[in-house]
Chain A
Amino acid sequence: MPKKPNRPKNLKLGPEVSRRGFLRGLGAAAGAAAVGAPLLGARQESRVQGPGPVKVALQINGARREVEIEPRVTLLNALRNHLDLTGTKKICDRGSCGGCMVLVDGAAVNSCLMLAIDAEGRKIETIEGLSADGKLHPIQEEFCAHDALQCGFCTPGMVMACKALLDRKKEPTLDEIREGISGNICRCGTYNKIFDAVRAAAPRLK
């Protein structure tokens, strides 16, 4: 990790004005299932950090993990590039595909739209946490059984979206499942199999 970058003076990248902040609204509009916007706005205190690396303590899959990162690092990049949690995928980096979906305090969030520093003090669950005991979660088992994946690149985000859905709805209808994963894109076209997997997993999670 380098020391403080020589940032040009005309670039204003303080905590008040950021690309991520601007994108919040867009992402929320695109992914109805992701409840990113209200969560992202929840951090109240205005503590000026950076621009150099700062220490951030994250609560991930039940464990406390410390990283030293620049404040501009997204939660997605922190997971992937600093914590070796590469199950969470970077696909669009603009909150419009759901590939980087994680649960933050139980709600599905596109981690590319959240700064890692904003995730401090929150409970973060990633795909790696779902089968931490070495046993597949019922949603994961049903994804395999119904072949609800092909290339598999959207799969971690899809599984997390389905988990968020089934956490809040015990018996979702087909339309509710469609709505529940409407913030997630699958280019191979596995959606119909995902519907089947969710319907099979639902009764097992009651």
Chain B
Amino acid sequence: MSRKVRTKVGFAGKVEEIEVTVADNDPDPWGADAKLSVVGTRVPRVDGPIKVTGKAKYTYDVAPKGMLHGAILRSPHGAAVVNSIDTSAAEKLEGVVAVHAAKKAGARVLFHGDEVAGVAAETEEIAQEALTLIKVDYEVKPCVTTVEAASKKDAPRVFENRPNVQPGRARGGADADGAIEKAPLIVEATYTTEVQTHSSLETHGCVVQIDGGSVTAWASTQATFGCRQGFAGAAKVEQGNVRVISEHVGGGFGSKFDIGREGHIAVELTRKAGRPVKVMLDRKGEHLHGGNRPSSIQAFKGGVDKEGKIFGIKVATSGTGGIGGGAGSAHPGFYTVGAWEKSETNVITNAGEARAFRAPGHPQGFFGMESFLDELAEKAGIDPLEFRKKNCRSKVHLAEFDLAAEKFNWKERRRAKSGSDAGPKKRGAGMASSVWYNAGGQGFKVDVVVSPDGTVEVRNGAQDIGTGTRTVLAVLVAEELGLKPDQIVVKMGDTILPPGPNSGGSTTAASLGPAARAAGLKAKKELLERAVRDLKAKPGDLDLKDGVVVKSGSPTTMTFKKLCQALGTETLHVTGDREKNYAGYSETVAGVQMAEVEVDVETGQVRCLRVVAIQDAGRVVDRLTFESQVSGGVIQGVSYALFEERRLDPNLGVMVNPDFLNYKVAGSKDCPEIIAIAFDVANAKNNVGMMGLGEPPTIPTAGAIANAVANAIGVRVRSLPITPDKVLAALEAKKS
């Protein structure tokens, strides 16, 4: 069933050998000394050409014959009861084919944007017009939009049957107070972050087609198989009768796991209309009910001594994820913090629910934690870099700290004296770190199909939401078959293909990569068996390299294409299984970022100038798409640190910035120079040694920027986003 294999793990200068238990049909893991020709190079995205030409079909672009356009009417109030809903005028409008009241008389709407009704019409314009004809009589109720307001004793309840304040479980469990009291130096600080919306550029939505008992749904999703279950439930059919297609997805970032209310509305409209219906959210709907990262209030208390030893840290957090939960923050990472105690509270408010958002809990938690580490270091009179190294229990992080300091030139860029730059523009440097956890999961399958004409197709039903999974699979199969990645066709995003994961926890590539490699290797073995007789070789003598069959290390005249001709009329179809992870070098991936900012003390404006991002992802399969992931994570982090904030009117519960004019996301003028460096760690765990990469690069950025701002101006802004008003207020407070 399984075998023991010795393999080299670790990173440059720290390589060691371990024994791992590998399933019999799984290839030997590539160790630190593996010689690979395609894996680890810079490979352009295989779906680049169809995306740059506009040919890639996203859900938004799909239009089956006879399709109608849907639109959703949303609650204009933060909280209300629907007294009555009259859809008759909308139904009479010419061109309207179906109307569905999602809320009946007597139903409550819980937030601005709550779905009230849906319409399907011949054109988008008619559907939009029909929404204006639906008459809803609301009895407006008081609403709560902030943690403070919702936590008051006499606050109106969002849900009648449960209190707004939901205490979470306590963590850590140590008596931090006792330990902190023993420390010579004590620091207390509270950090806050705002609600951030995912703002995927392709909004949520789907196109539903029902033929008798079978459902085909095109969905903008990061979970084709999850949505298959969702649509089966909504349409009340078996999952086997549902096909979900998601060939290309315009971003998800954690917000697109289920079919959403829009999925249910689309199914109802499709049933009523008897024709396919497309329901895509508009930008406002996306902000209101397309998911968000909860806010946080993180109160820290900690004790330290002059040598930089942390005695203990106690943290109490609260936050709101609207009508959902999950307002927790991730602490304390990989740091040694002495006695550790934590309590978490989730507060329910009248707002669209939070959803998983790129490293849930982490960007906010690490902003708090890394800010607090800097404050402890300052109290102890120790450089923040040295302070972290003293309290770090991760060997990969320790090595990354040094590499980051060198690449960033920490000594030079870190201001010994804050605000010492001449003129109003003050520069400063700060740092922060990240940790992430995933090496992918088991149970998935990847097919490799080789045709007699030499074409190679890789198939899996999971989705590529823009991370580059397609390219990673192409690289791994190309490696085994001695081909170039662009010679491999990768088909993804369709539930009729082999099972794959939902894209959560940065697991997709690492869940599928090892199965793709296994399938590629299987295909190679089967193809080469067919060449043994022609080439008068023993099976072990043959290999595939650079598009030809290699015999005992020397190229033969048999090309890959010719080899495939031996298939005759047969198509070679093999399946690679994703076996379970085995022991590796590290259970986590490590990241360190250093940021330089420039703060204008006259205007309060902060610009992030430069970020060095050192990131471990186990074995990097494609260095080009690796760089893109890291760079993109940093830019989202800059955006979170400096700009993004969902604003609700506290009285009306209405979002006042549900667009891209007033909800500011980072643009081309806001991007720092980014130096993204892969910290290669051979980590066994699976036959490729891949680990998760999608989420970790966005974790440290906000913390690093906040620390850099404090270094630049000598006063700390403990609240994200770090907007000019907060900077100026902090400078004022420092003066007085």
B49-63 contacts to A (CB < 8 Å): 49, 51-58, 60-61, 63
Task: Find out whether the CB atom of B250 lies under 8 angstroms from the CB atom of A153.
Answer: yes
Task: Find out whether the CB atom of B665 lies under 8 angstroms from the CB atom of A128.
Answer: no
Task: Find out whether the CB atom of A189 lies under 8 angstroms from the CB atom of B668.
Answer: no
Kindly provide the distance from the CB of A179 to the nearest chain B CB, expressed in whole angstroms: 7
With A72-B125, A92-B659, A154-B201: A147-B625 Cβ-Cβ less than 8 Å:
yes
Task: Find out whether the CB atom of A152 lies under 8 angstroms from the CB atom of B124.
Answer: no
The stretch among B162-170, B230-238, B627-635 that forms the contact with chain A is B627-635
A111 near B: Cβ within 8 Å? no
Task: Find out whether the CB atom of A178 lies under 8 angstroms from the CB atom of B668.
Answer: yes
Task: Find out whether the CB atom of B628 lies under 8 angstroms from the CB atom of A2.
Answer: no
Chain B residues within CB distance 8 Å of chain A: 44-45, 47-49, 51-58, 60-61, 63, 69, 89, 92-95, 122-126, 129, 132-133, 199-203, 248-251, 253, 282-283, 465-468, 624-625, 627-629, 631-636, 639, 659-661, 665-669, 671, 673-674
A94 near B: Cβ within 8 Å? yes
Complex Cα spacing A185 to B55, Å: 20
Q: Closest residue to B95 on the A side, CB-wise?
A: A2
Complex Cα spacing A192 to B202, Å: 21
A81 near B: Cβ within 8 Å? yes
Kindly provide the distance from the CB of A77 to the nearest chain B CB, expressed in whole angstroms: 6
Task: Find out whether the CB atom of B123 lies under 8 angstroms from the CB atom of A152.
Answer: no
Complex Cα spacing A20 to B61, Å: 23
Q: Give the number of residue pairs across the A-B interface with Cβ within 8 Å.
A: 197
Chain A residues within CB distance 8 Å of chain B: 1-8, 11, 26, 30, 70, 72-73, 77, 80-81, 84-94, 96-97, 99, 126-128, 130-131, 136, 140, 143-145, 147, 149-156, 159, 177-179, 181-182, 184-195
With A91-B283, A147-B627: A187-B201 Cβ-Cβ less than 8 Å:
yes
Complex Cα spacing A156 to B55, Å: 10
Contact of B54 (CB < 8 Å), options: A126, A151, A186, A193: A126
Contact of A73 (CB < 8 Å), options: B55, B63, B125, B632: B125
Complex Cα spacing A149 to B57, Å: 15
Task: Find out whether the CB atom of B51 lies under 8 angstroms from the CB atom of A149.
Answer: yes
Q: Closest residue to A84 on the B side, CB-wise?
A: B63
Task: Find out whether the CB atom of A8 lies under 8 angstroms from the CB atom of B54.
Answer: no
Contact of A192 (CB < 8 Å), options: B200, B248, B249, B671: B671
Residues on B with beta carbons closer than 8 Å to the beta carbon of A94: 283, 659-661
With A2-B95, A189-B635: A151-B251 Cβ-Cβ less than 8 Å:
yes
Kindly provide the distance from the CB of A127 to the nearest chain B CB, expressed in whole angstroms: 4
Complex Cα spacing A3 to B203, Å: 30
Complex Cα spacing A126 to B696, Å: 36
Task: Find out whether the CB atom of A147 lies under 8 angstroms from the CB atom of B53.
Answer: no
Residues on B with beta carbons closer than 8 Å to the beta carbon of A185: 201, 660, 665, 667
Complex Cα spacing A188 to B395, Å: 30
Task: Find out whether the CB atom of B201 lies under 8 angstroms from the CB atom of A147.
Answer: no
Kindly provide the distance from the CB of B48 to the nearest chain A CB, expressed in whole angstroms: 4
With A2-B94, A5-B129, A147-B48: A81-B55 Cβ-Cβ less than 8 Å:
no
Task: Find out whether the CB atom of B628 lies under 8 angstroms from the CB atom of A144.
Answer: no
Task: Find out whether the CB atom of A152 lies under 8 angstroms from the CB atom of B282.
Answer: no
Contact of B125 (CB < 8 Å), options: A77, A80, A99, A179: A77
Q: Which 8 A-B pairs have the closest CB atoms?
A: A87-B54, A151-B466, A189-B635, A153-B250, A152-B51, A189-B632, A144-B48, A86-B61
Complex Cα spacing A147 to B89, Å: 50
Residues on A with beta carbons closer than 8 Å to the beta carbon of B660: 30, 91-92, 94, 96-97, 185
Kindly provide the distance from the CB of A204 to the nearest chain B CB, expressed in whole angstroms: 15
Residues on A with beta carbons closer than 8 Å to the beta carbon of B667: 182, 184-185, 191
Complex Cα spacing A6 to B58, Å: 33
Complex Cα spacing A147 to B622, Å: 11
Task: Find out whether the CB atom of A88 lies under 8 angstroms from the CB atom of B467.
Answer: no
Task: Find out whether the CB atom of A5 lies under 8 angstroms from the CB atom of B53.
Answer: no
Task: Find out whether the CB atom of A143 lies under 8 angstroms from the CB atom of B48.
Answer: yes
Task: Find out whether the CB atom of A26 lies under 8 angstroms from the CB atom of B661.
Answer: yes
Task: Find out whether the CB atom of A150 lies under 8 angstroms from the CB atom of B125.
Answer: no
10 A–B contacts, CB within 8 A, in A order: A2-B94, A2-B126, A85-B54, A89-B201, A92-B660, A94-B283, A151-B201, A152-B52, A191-B666, A193-B627
Complex Cα spacing A192 to B629, Å: 12
Task: Find out whether the CB atom of A2 lies under 8 angstroms from the CB atom of B283.
Answer: no
Residues on A with beta carbons closer than 8 Å to the beta carbon of B57: 86
Task: Find out whether the CB atom of A6 lies under 8 angstroms from the CB atom of B628.
Answer: no
Residues on B with beta carbons closer than 8 Å to the beta carbon of A150: 251, 466-468, 628-629, 632
Residues on A with beta carbons closer than 8 Å to the beta carbon of B61: 80, 86
Complex Cα spacing A93 to B627, Å: 31
Task: Find out whether the CB atom of B465 lies under 8 angstroms from the CB atom of A151.
Answer: yes
Complex Cα spacing A66 to B694, Å: 45
Complex Cα spacing A131 to B49, Å: 10
Kindly provide the distance from the CB of B339 to the nearest chain A CB, expressed in whole angstroms: 38
Residues on B with beta carbons closer than 8 Å to the beta carbon of A89: 58, 60, 201-202, 250
Contact of A153 (CB < 8 Å), options: B49, B202, B632: B202
Residues on B with beta carbons closer than 8 Å to the beta carbon of A93: 282-283
Residues on A with beta carbons closer than 8 Å to the beta carbon of B122: 1-2
Kindly provide the distance from the CB of B52 to the nearest chain A CB, expressed in whole angstroms: 4
Complex Cα spacing A141 to B44, Å: 10
Complex Cα spacing A154 to B200, Å: 10
Q: Which of B248, B250, B633 has the most CB of A within 10 A?
A: B250
Task: Find out whether the CB atom of B123 lies under 8 angstroms from the CB atom of A81.
Answer: yes
Task: Find out whether the CB atom of B668 lies under 8 angstroms from the CB atom of A127.
Answer: no
Task: Find out whether the CB atom of A152 lies under 8 angstroms from the CB atom of B661.
Answer: no
Residues on A with beta carbons closer than 8 Å to the beta carbon of B633: 189
Residues on A with beta carbons closer than 8 Å to the beta carbon of B632: 150, 188-190
Sample of 12 more A-B contacts, CB < 8 Å, known A86-B61, A153-B250, A188-B251: A5-B126, A11-B132, A77-B124, A89-B201, A91-B203, A96-B660, A127-B53, A140-B53, A143-B48, A144-B48, A151-B251, A153-B201
